[in-house]
Amino acid sequence: MEFFDIMPMIRDFGLEALGLRTVMPEAQAAITFADGRPPVVLHRPDLLDRTHASIARYSGTDADLWVELKKRAIGLQDLLATGLYNLPTEATMADLTALLEGVFGDLGITPDFATKSIKVVIDELFETPELRALLYRATVEWGYPVDQAGSGVAFLTFIMWTLGNWKMVRGGTHALAKTMTQACYREGVDLIENSDVEKVIIKDGRAVGVVTRGREIRAEKCVASNADVRQTLLDLVGEDHLSPLWAKRAHAFRYGPSHVLGTPMFCLHEAPDYKSAKWDPDVNRCFYTMVGFDGPDDTIRYIRDAYSGRIPMPAAGLWVNSLWDRAQAPAGRHTATGWYFLPPASALTGAEWEDVRSTFNERFIDVWHAAAPNMTRDNIIAHRLYTPDQMEHKNRMFEGDFSNGEFAPDQLGTNRPFPEASSYRTEIDGLYFCGPSAFPGGGVHAACGYNAYKAIAEDLGLPSPVVTERGY
Amino acid sequence: MKQVCDVVIIGAGHNGLTLGAYLARSGLDVVVLERRHEEGGGLCTEELTRPGFLHNVHANYHTFVDMAPAITDLEVRENGVEYVRPEVQMASIFDDGTALTIHTDLDKTCESMARFSETDAETFRRLHTEAHGFVDLLLGTLMYQPPMSVKELTRALAAFGVEERTEFLSVRLRRETINQFLDQHFTNDRIKAHLAFHGAVCGYTNDVAGLAIGFPLLIGKIDNWHLCLGGSHRLAHALWRDLAHHGGTLISDAEVASIQVEDGRAVGVRLTTGEEISARRAVASTVDVEQTLLEFVDPTDLSPELRTRVANDVVHKDWSLFSVHAAMSELPEYTAAEFDPDVNRAWVVNLGYASTDDLDDDWRLIRKGGLPDPRPNAAVNSLYDPTDAPDGCYTGLLRQFAPYDLHGGGAGQWEGMGRWYAQRCLDVWRRHAPNLEANTFIDWAPFTPLDISRKLVNMVRGDWMMGEISLDNLLDQRPLPELGEYRTPIDRLYLAGSTQHPHGFITFGPGYNALQIMADDLDIDPWWRVI
Amino acid sequence: MPDIYTSDWYEAVRDSINVKVAEMQGVPEGTWHVAIDIVGDGRSPYVNQGAERNFVVRIEDGRCAWYREVDGADPGVRLDFRFRGPAEEFDRIAAGLLDPIDAALRGTIKARGDMRFLMRQAEHVQVLLEAYTDGVETLWPDGRPPYDGESA
């Protein structure tokens, strides 16, 4: 959870007093290798000397540059937070080049970086293949397309700030939802589970409630939809209530393939002990560890395969939270979870996904075992794979897209979900977007909900949540 | 995390949440600590098989709806719970294709019974009518009050001359088994089997002496079985919501390591993570007595005699439950529907116990660690809950009475046997409902007695009742006579879980009754007693 | 002889209770307020259908200190027990035609409050009930139960 320190609701609702507890592992992200060569380990912001030592095993120049870039990116925190937790503003090319020059100009980053893709930026900055592979793979975690022209700015600012900023929630990620639920309960919010919303009721051009399980719930003030823009406008509102432009925009909204992940889950006796740990034991106690990649070439092929609708080679980013939180596994056991980068749900048939679910973990376990010899089948008590088609079914994350809408220039910033809807308001009075298909997109930052509240507060004359000193 | 509060409650099962919500509504600053990542304890609903299939892993039947004061006092429905009372509550299907059904409509139940015995049907009508009359009184006297002793109870029944006034309440019931009660009043084996089976599902084993005294109460609510829409866990959410809305705090993933005692008085708890929470007024534990008094309390704070008593004399249930949770593409269509079409709409279906001897045989076997030939009971909640499975699919549950310790190898043996035994249980179901072909089970998952204790560690030895149901372990004798009044030898440390009177099941009783004692001790204004 | 449910009738009931209690040993010490809600059922002529008459009895150290007809929504005191049921049931009890324990067991008169206390004080409760049922000669100006020709 990289946004923990800037998420407004954690402080605004006192979630820590309600039981939210976190751990920030020292080693944050690493790549490990089957041939046992040294890992690359990135640490949290207060331990950059250790990160420097790790990268310097391969390249002193890369290590120096990494640390310097990281320090500059840390300095961007206020700017990023203000950007996330406010309604989007149009960033012009001139703004971006000025930002790059102002912050990174002395490090050889020229204005033309604003037009480059993430892959090109990574390749031009760093000479170490192992570091490049790590960074490509890390990039897909946030849904940024590595090959897209102009995406490189996001790498230098957002991803550089984010990498190494992870906190994990004690008791599992769901504990954050639970403390927020508790805050909702305290404030008098009703949470009605197992209640598929069938439609938004529109009366005289205004959203006045919803129908769920055949029953109407009337809303005196407004309706806010956390469902994505297509579901909200096409399924719940219905085209007959939309203008031709809004209907066209909703149809044109795209999911994936840039943020489609499958989640393998493993119950383990022992935590993995990697061959690469002989160089740096930190890799065995690293929050997020990439396994199954050999270098930039196979990593970029892996990403491009998934983009193109093909099942890539078995390789994953993995975390073993039970190393820091005993609540996440029975005594003496460990829980490992991970992410495979996979094609969107519609790229495969149901039967093909069923096949992936029954074979892909097995293939990965072989790869894992090659990198960590104790990852034998005896060490794995049970495992399961959760695939994009299931996410679509379970969470209505269409195509399994974590971001609820592709990250592409025409669907980002003031273009998210589409230009006319970027203020969280819709053309239907009293209907708002508050989910990740709105700005800034997917990720556990709650900015979509926070910003939607700002828009609603302004329209309904409710108190502003802005705290002047934090700037949002 | 909060560091100081008025009352710390250990365990967020329905009793912990109930007690917490009452205290929060009384203006106290309450923290409820839960070891697991989810509140609810036995109110546990999980997608054990496939996404969208909501399986009640523990509590499935809510039989005290509109009887427990907490339901109204804590505005359970306003807090989001929707209950359904299935029209066909239960059924027994017998090997010869006949079946018995229990309805919310007494006439229909009697019609069904009359097909087996007209006399018994009439007896049942009288028993049901009488039990319905006094169920309120019995609940108020026996469930939702701190316990009386059997002696006090007997004296009062004599003073009021109850025995002369009723056909079914008798002083001698305190020595008799449910089997004896049934033999005295009923003639037909199958009717007796069904009534005994129904008692067993409530945790009242039909061959245990003394339990006849509780049987009229069970009959008084035999048609009050409710299903919690969206899974039993919804009730936990509602109780939690009430707690939080009144300023209380639930903290999950908070495993208690010790209860802090100063000068003989409980003053707070320490978690396994080292975090501490002080309690200005009291600490209440709703988990098992063994954890509370032997693990959480330092040995120097408790007498060695009581420690020995807790270690040796707390009695757990001598049978547990084996479950199969199924994701299904078809509803069961029983062969017995030709005899009684209502069996296809029955919520809880006994598959095979045709006499009290059948049950007794299994209890004898189970007590020796033997595994019975399955005679499971089947409950398809989707019959009455359209939200607990994806469209066109159904969530099913098979429950089989089973031992915790298996003969020869202990509970560990369950490890490798779950799927095998589950398959045998499914085979029995399919024999009675031939349309349930193998491919109608999209997926299924066994849940063994060992799994019960692993998931909810306070259900020691698979004991889902948190203490045996027998007359020497009920009322003021539960869990031990010296702990029967919710107080402990440590000042301001209370026991408020199902180890206490009345017992486990979703009764709300232990938490509600502990509240009465705490209100007296802590001088809390008992607003809920406004009558 | 007083008319049913009048002040005089309740005075008589009170006196009858207190005479009996005076002969008892070990009556509980303390003060209790008991509500009696007599709900019009269309059969009793003494309470209109849909209406109800609410009385509160104060028990002090086992004796009846006073009774009062009150506004049901605001009895003016904190209640310890409530007995509620159809008027005909109460009429029949007062006429000695129905045993109050039977009424409670049949659930026609609902009892609320600390049942454990009532059970523990069973002997005392019995005395109070007897005084109520057969301690007073009662006049029935609008007719006497059983109603509608029901046999006694």
| Lowest-pLDDT choice from A68-82, A133-147, C137-151 | C137-151
ipTM: 0.91
In angstroms, rounded to a whole number, what is the distance separating the alpha carbons of residues B214 and B199? 9
Number of A/B CB contacts below 8 angstroms equals 77
pLDDT for position A406: 92
Summarize pLDDT for C36-60 with one digit per residue, the tens. 999 999 999 999 998 999 999 999 9
Nearest to C119 among B132, B146, B152 (CB): B152
Summarize pLDDT for B177-190 with one digit per residue, the tens. 999 999 999 999 99
Nearest to B252 among A19, A390, A393 (CB): A19
Domain C7-134: give its CATH code: 3.30.1050.10
Q: Per residue, what are the HEC states of chain C?
A: CCECCCHHHHHHHHHHHHHHHHCCCCCCCCEEEEEEEEECCCCCCCCCCCCEEEEEEEEECCEEEEEEEEECCECCCCCCEEEEEEHHHHHHHHCCCCCHHHHHHHCCCEEEECHHHHHHCHHHHHHHHHHHHHCCCCECCCCCCCCCCCCC
CB contacts of A175 in chain B (<8 Å) are 37, 252-253
Q: Looking at residues A134-156, what average pLDDT do you find?
A: 91
DSSP label at residue A1: -
Selected from 3.50.50.60, 2.60.40.10, 3.40.50.80, 3.40.1360.10, the CATH number assigned to the domain covering A192-254+422-460 reads: 3.50.50.60
A340-377: burial string, b at 16+ Cβ within 10 Å, e else: bbbbbbbbbeeeebeebbeebbeebbebbbbbbeebee
Number of B/C CB contacts below 8 angstroms equals 68
Q: Looking at residues B322-337, what average pLDDT do you find?
A: 98
Position A274 confidence tier, pLDDT thresholds 50, 70, 90: very high
pLDDT for position B438: 93
Q: What is the DSSP string of B81-112?
A: --EE--SEEEEEE-TTS-EEEEESSHHHHHHH
β-partners of residue B291 are: none
Please check whether residue B239 is in contact with residue A8, taking contact to mean a CB–CB distance below 8 angstroms. no
Nearest to A213 among B247, B252, B387 (CB): B387
Cβ separation of B141 and C81 shorter than 8 Å? Answer: no
Position B529 confidence tier, pLDDT thresholds 50, 70, 90: confident
Nearest to B230 among A18, A194, A394 (CB): A194
Other Cβ atoms within 10 Å of A432 Cβ, number: 23
Tell me which of C22 and B351 has the higher pLDDT.
B351
Share of chain A above pLDDT 90, in %: 86
Q: Which of B19, B8, B14, B13 lies closest to B511 in space, CA to CA?
A: B19
Summarize pLDDT for A366-397 with one digit per residue, the tens. 999 999 999 999 999 999 999 999 999 888 89
Q: Looking at residues B230-256, what average pLDDT do you find?
A: 97
CB contacts of B1 in chain A (<8 Å) are 16-17, 19, 21
Q: Looking at residues A259-284, what average pLDDT do you find?
A: 97
Cβ separation of C120 and B159 shorter than 8 Å? Answer: no
Position A169 confidence tier, pLDDT thresholds 50, 70, 90: very high
Domain ranges of chain A: 8-25+44-168, 192-254+422-460, 256-394
Cβ separation of B162 and C105 shorter than 8 Å? Answer: yes
DSSP label at residue B18: H
Cβ neighbours of residue B517 under 8 Å, at least 6 residues apart?
A: B146, B485, B486, B487, B494
Summarize pLDDT for C65-80 with one digit per residue, the tens. 998 899 887 888 989 9
Cβ separation of C119 and B135 shorter than 8 Å? Answer: no
Summarize pLDDT for C120-129 with one digit per residue, the tens. 999 889 888 8
Q: Any CB–CB contact under 8 A between C48 and chain B?
A: no
pLDDT for position C152: 42
Alpha-carbon dihedral sign for residues A239, A240, A244, A245: negative
Nearest to A16 among B1, B247, B252 (CB): B1
Tell me the average pLDDT of chain C: 89
Q: Looking at residues C90-101, what average pLDDT do you find?
A: 92
Summarize pLDDT for B20-40 with one digit per residue, the tens. 999 999 999 999 999 999 999
Which partners does chain A have (≥3 C-beta pairs < 8 Å)? B
Amino acid at the residue B297? V
pLDDT for position C150: 53
Candidates A13, A186, A321: best to mutate against B (most CBs of B within 10 A) is A186
Nearest to A186 among B245, B254, B387 (CB): B245
| Residue C149 confidence (pLDDT) above 70 | no
Position C151 confidence tier, pLDDT thresholds 50, 70, 90: very low
Tell me which of A152 and B370 has the higher pLDDT.
B370
Summarize pLDDT for A118-127 with one digit per residue, the tens. 999 999 999 9
Q: Looking at residues B301-328, what average pLDDT do you find?
A: 97
pLDDT for position A471: 87
| Residue B405 confidence (pLDDT) above 60 | yes
Domain ranges of chain C: 7-134
CB contacts of C34 in chain B (<8 Å) are none
Position B436 confidence tier, pLDDT thresholds 50, 70, 90: very high
Domain ranges of chain B: 4-43+230-316+466-521
Asked whether C and A share 3 or more beta-carbon pairs under 8 angstroms, the answer is no
> May I ask the CATH class of domain B4-43+230-316+466-521?
alpha beta
Residues 140-179 of A with CB under 8 A from B: 170-172, 174-175, 178
| Residue A161 confidence (pLDDT) above 70 | yes
Q: Any CB–CB contact under 8 A between C105 and chain B?
A: yes
pLDDT for position B240: 98
pLDDT for position B68: 95
pLDDT for position B447: 98
